[in-house]
Amino acid sequence: MMIVIKFIVFQILSVPAILLGLVAMIGLMLQKRPATNVISGTIKTIIGVLIISGGAGILTGSLSPFGTIINHGLNVKGIVPTNEAVLPFALKNFGSMGALIMVGGFLINVLLAKFTRFKFIYLTGHIMLYVSLFVTAVYESVAGLQGFWLFLVGAVTMGLYFTFMPALLYPYAQKITKGEKFSVGHTGDIGYWFSGWIGKYVGNPEKSAENFKLPKWLNFFRDSTTSMAVTMVPIYLGTTEQPTF
């Protein structure tokens, strides 16, 4: 019996993708969804976590040589700051606890939404996983928390974060959407709140960036992927050390 328990804990629940897949499966079953939905939802969750992990690895791999180029070309010492760089490391080293903290935080979020006046449920799934992993890494590496206390403090932190970040932006989201009953759940919430607050004192609310006109030959800059690709090429070339003759 002990061998079976150890296998479940260390071989199944220790894999973040499988753990979150099981959470999704239980949630779908509690909603009494058809068996086909339960199966597809579970598989999609597992694949989604694997894609996030793979994508974070690609991002980190692409930024590493960029940091080397800048340090060498400009003769400086430093790193390229990106939050996503912690994700593959956190998934590998704190994945299971981070997933448990995310689930615990979400349950606290649901309880706070039910029993307090803050009726907000955080539904940005990939951000929930990302921030939970980040908090887990900080609490374990910096604060030295382990086991139950790591889970408890992390879950409470995430429960409060999931509840109050959308609440912070709700007045501004209502103004933009003309009274729609939803808010924003994202890692940039504090920055968005500050922009909304300072926007009351500067600028013209009648003018929107959505109405900004570009010449037709520059319209491709409206696509974020294209504009980023075009922008990064001269940055790479400009920071590369020029040959001397």
Residue scoring higher pLDDT (41 or 81):
41
Q: Which of 148, 8, 126 is nearest to 140 (CA)?
A: 148
Domain closes at, from 32, 51, 80:
80
Domain closes at, from 39, 56, 80:
80
Q: What is the pLDDT of residues 42-58, one digit of tens each?
A: 888 888 777 776 766 66
Percent of the chain with pLDDT over 70: 76
Residue scoring higher pLDDT (39 or 70):
39
Q: What is the pLDDT of residues 186-200, one digit of tens each?
A: 888 888 899 888 888
| Ranges 18-32, 93-107, 207-221, 230-244, most confident | 93-107
Range(s) of the domain holding residue 202: 82-212
Instruction: Specify burial of residue 15 (Cβ count, 10 A radius: 0-12, 13-18, 19+).
Output: middle
Q: Average pLDDT of the chain?
A: 78
The secondary structure element, H or E, covering residue 165 is helix 147-177
The pLDDT value recorded for residue 102 is 87
pLDDT band for 241, please (50, 70, 90 cuts). Answer: low
Domain count, the chain: 2
> Residues 65, 94: one domain?
no
The pLDDT value recorded for residue 99 is 82
**Residue type at position 38:** V
- Alpha-carbon torsion angle 85, 185, 111, 152, nearest 10: 20
pLDDT band for 244, please (50, 70, 90 cuts). Answer: very low
- Say how far apart CA 211 and CA 99 lie, in whole Å: 41
> Residues 24, 68: one domain?
yes
The SS3 of residue 176 is helix
Is 37 domain-assigned?
A: yes
